[in-house]
Structure 1
Amino acid sequence: MTPTETKKSSLLGNLTVQILIAMLFGAVLGIYIHNNYDVPFAKEFSDKIKILATVFIRLVQMIISPLVFTTLVVGIAKLGDIKTVGRVGGRALGWFFSASFISLLIGMFWVNLLKPGVGLNLLNVDLTAAAEVTGNTHSFSAINFIEHIIPKSIFEAMSNNEILQIVIFSIFFGLAAASIGSFAKPVINALDKTSHIILKMVNYVMKFAPLGVFGAIAGVFAIKDLNDLVITYVKFFSSFLVGIGSLWIFLLAVGFVFLGKRMKTLLKHIVSPLIIAFGTTSSEAVFPKLTEELERFGIKDKIVSFMLPLGYSFNLDGSMMYMTFASMFIAQAYGIHLDLGTQMTMLLVLMLTSKGIAGVPRASLVVVAATCGMFDIPIEGIALILPIDHFCDMFRSATNVLGNALATSVVGKWEGESEPELSE
């Protein structure tokens, strides 16, 4: 094989390139089906082709629970004493809440400035489409908020992939193991070896990523009329892109401030997880791959193991920005004026309630619907954003991945646990 052929083979074998090709072919196929076949056939095609995405996401979900548990427990044990765990945890939570607050502010700023909901025509809005989301808000209370955070059974939490509950159990388990000392070493060593086996499984699961992205993209484009969406939602979506773009600029700027030239290297490592999250609208789907890439970037495994599970529960920057943006958009669409004090109260409510919904399907929409109900904004307004929510979810999922990669890298540097990137 010539050097040129070898280079082409290597390029085509690159996961990122494969995913981009899959996105392109998925979009082309979906648009073709939508334009050339009737609605029932397109719907049936969409349901069937999305099975590819379902298979990929379920494969990832299969390994998330054991990966979070083993890596977080090992990470806490390797950190050593409770004082170190408290210091790293304090820095992590400080970063998470600061990033969440700024993300919420960015959403609030742009929705007030651009006013995408003002003058919107509310006729012919399909309210039945929102029933699935608004139906989940009746139980969204302080009691259920606590119940969702604290596990009553680690096995139940693992079977449901309740990341936040697994994190809570793992922290207690890790701290207890660290306090025992050498007596717990055999258990920690066994969990360490288990985590490496699971990470090896990641390589096998990622082989299915292009197929998953292809199925997800083709399924959506087959049933969505892009012309109607663009005409109806151009103001909302363009305003949202301005907001999410501003958040990316902020996150990248912060990254360059703290990481310097290494920020470019970090971006090279996480480009594949970013694209997978974008294509599948699931930041959860790249958790194992992101763990692997951050370790290759040079962040010590004990920091990655500690930070990422926490980040997936507390640091969803893209989702946070969307929550204030969508809530205010619905209020504008119904002509409801909210003064600055009310908006800041809404922001704080979102800040707290969003921390307990990690792993909940369509979590952002559920929180938005619940928040609207608290502030006497019609929760059926969720129907306004449902038709385009999938495309918004693509951007916010990728933003969540960027935010967690950045947080882990910066805390790793603060702790002196960052080193030159590892060789492949």
Structure 2
Amino acid sequence: MIAASIAGIVLGLAAPDTAVQLKPLGTGFVNLIRMMISPVIFCTLVLGIGSVRRAAQVGRVGGLALGYFVAMSFVALAVGLAVGNVLHPGSGLHLTSALKGAGQAQAAGAPPEGVDFVLSIIPTTFVSAFTEGQVLQTLLVALLAGFALQALGRAGEPVLRGIGHLQKLIFRVMSMILWAAPVGAFGALAAVVGSAGVDALKALATIMLGFYATCLIFVVVVLGALLWIGARINLFRLLRYLARDFLLIVSTSSSESALPRLIAKMEHLGVSRPVVGITVPAGYSFNLDGTMIYLTMASLFIADAMGKPLAFGEQISLLLFMMVASKGAAGVSGSGLASLATGLQSHKPALVDGIGLIVGIDRFMSEARALTNFAGNAVATVLIGTWTGGFDRSRADRVLAGDLPFDEATLLADADADAHADPHVHLGKDSGKHPAPDPLKEPAALGHGPAAAGAPATPQV
């Protein structure tokens, strides 16, 4: 991955025309990953909800997660607002007629908002959410299926077991797709470097570097402090555990490409399956810290560049609207630019033309957005698990120390992790440490019957 990324950047600088033609390599790889996102989210969320005995426990985890996501969105907006007002990165730039056209094109392709946005969450059919690749639609279907299985009780346990096997199949397919990651990284980076050009990067270096520095400060200072205070986990140990996933995100510019790996790694780390199943998919739609920082700094950048700086009151109202409009972006590459266009079109139409100033470097800023979003969701999962009693701290220490390595070949945890992530675990004070017995296992596995007395086990049908 590292070698392919470097080779792509070199080719983009040395032969930009040739490099741009390699864009289908990166696009094809991201499309392969995206193909698996809906099934992964469905299986994970259904297993997470369906395995919890009482709906109130799901509501407790979900409510705590959503409250945390909203609070962190405000923190990210505040950080971006402070840095943007200090840097004034748009000063000195000029808008051309060609760039105006690019900004209007982005605004025309902006996602729905208001009532239309709410209605867009409802899929046409039960299965169309999977075929259309809409994350929020998949979340809705998975929530309904999970609560339905929970209401069925023991009658729904064979279905849960089947979905568990389906999830293993999906992760196996995912591990096969990831073998093509270096090819995708080479094509994607070669194309974006070749199309952007060195001159454009130099001209817009201030906003790029300022944005990267702001994201770094947010992750290290804000998320690092929260993780240590809330779970006594060192942020840098967690980031090292997720290092390969960050590399995948850098090459594809989308945190969506690493979503299946985050689900598998969080369960392997020691977070209970219900917490992972609820927090990670929801976080990919509602916990977009990097996107919040981007929307703040990009809005101020465009306003300064066009000579129309925003008053403090205008900044607050615009960014509060963008916080709502950005939900549902779900880590898709380029979604931040669409959310920016939506907010400006609704609250400050005179600034829409200025979006063209940032289109050329949005791909590079998208990487920082995706990395920050991914780190924020990883930290959120550990914290929600800790606060709800669904986090095995002793196992996490062993995993982060390297004593329990993650199985890269299958994206599945080892036997010890499977026991930990038993789908029938209860969420409670000791959740994640003492999983409840699986009623679908044969009596011998529960310490009863012939095998418990030393006789050979007889398969139960």
Provide the rounded CA distance (Å) in 2 between the counterparts of 1:339 and 1:156: 44
Contact 1:61 1:161 in 2 (8 A): yes
| RMSD of Structure 2 on Structure 1 (CA) | 1.9
Aligned residues: 395
Contact 1:76 1:171 in 2 (8 A): yes
2:218 equivalent among 239, 247, 258: 247
| Structure-1-length-normalised TM-score | 0.88
1:149 counterpart residue number: 121
Contact 1:233 1:388 in 2 (8 A): yes
Give yes or no for the alignment of 1:190 onto 2:162: yes
> Against the structure 1 CA distance between its residues 305 and 104, is the aligned structure 2 distance closer, same or farther, given a 3 Å change threshold?
same
Cα deviation per residue 1:156-200 (whole Å; 9 max; x = unaligned)?
221121111111121121112112211111111111111122112
Contact 1:115 1:329 in 2 (8 A): yes
> Against the structure 1 CA distance between its residues 359 and 21, is the aligned structure 2 distance closer, same or farther, given a 3 Å change threshold?
closer
Summarize the alignment of residues 124-143 of structure 1 with structure 2, pairs less than 5 Å apart. 125-137=98-110, 140-143=112-115
Provide the rounded CA distance (Å) in 1 between the counterparts of 2:158 and 2:319: 46
1:328 equivalent among 279, 297, 300: 300
Amino acid at match of 2:8: G
1:106 equivalent among 79, 100, 103: 79
Contact 1:163 1:359 in 2 (8 A): no
2:20 counterpart residue number: 46
Contact 1:269 1:297 in 2 (8 A): no
Provide the rounded CA distance (Å) in 2 between the counterparts of 1:58 and 1:110: 35
User: Please, which runs of 5 or more residues in structure 1 have no aligned partner?
Assistant: 1-18, 35-41
| Structure-2-length-normalised TM-score | 0.81
Provide the rounded CA distance (Å) in 2 between the counterparts of 1:391 and 1:357: 17
> Against the structure 1 CA distance between its residues 337 and 45, is the aligned structure 2 distance closer, same or farther, given a 3 Å change threshold?
closer
1:237 equivalent among 208, 224, 235: 208
1:317 equivalent among 284, 289, 303: 289
Summarize the alignment of residues 345-424 of structure 1 with structure 2, pairs less than 5 Å apart. 345-358=317-330, 362-376=334-348, 377-419=350-392, 420=395, 421=399, 422-424=404-406
Provide the rounded CA distance (Å) in 2 between the counterparts of 1:102 and 1:352: 14
Amino acid at match of 1:386: V
User: Please, which runs of 5 or more residues in structure 2 have no aligned partner?
Assistant: 407-461
Provide the rounded CA distance (Å) in 1 between the counterparts of 2:250 and 2:258: 10
1:308 counterpart residue number: 280
Cα deviation per residue 1:13-63 (whole Å; 9 max; x = unaligned)?
xxxxxx2222112111221213xxxxxxx0x5413x222212221221221
Contact 1:65 1:166 in 2 (8 A): yes
2:31 equivalent among 55, 58, 69: 58
Contact 1:314 1:355 in 2 (8 A): yes
Seq. identity, %: 33
1:84 counterpart residue number: 57
> Against the structure 1 CA distance between its residues 21 and 259, is the aligned structure 2 distance closer, same or farther, given a 3 Å change threshold?
farther
| Larger radius of gyration between Structure 1 and Structure 2 | 2
The worse-fitting range, judged by mean Cα deviation, of 66-75 and 372-381 is: 372-381
Higher relative contact order (CA 8 A, sep 6+): 1
Give yes or no for the alignment of 1:23 onto 2:5: yes
Give yes or no for the alignment of 1:120 onto 2:102: no
Contact 1:26 1:217 in 2 (8 A): yes
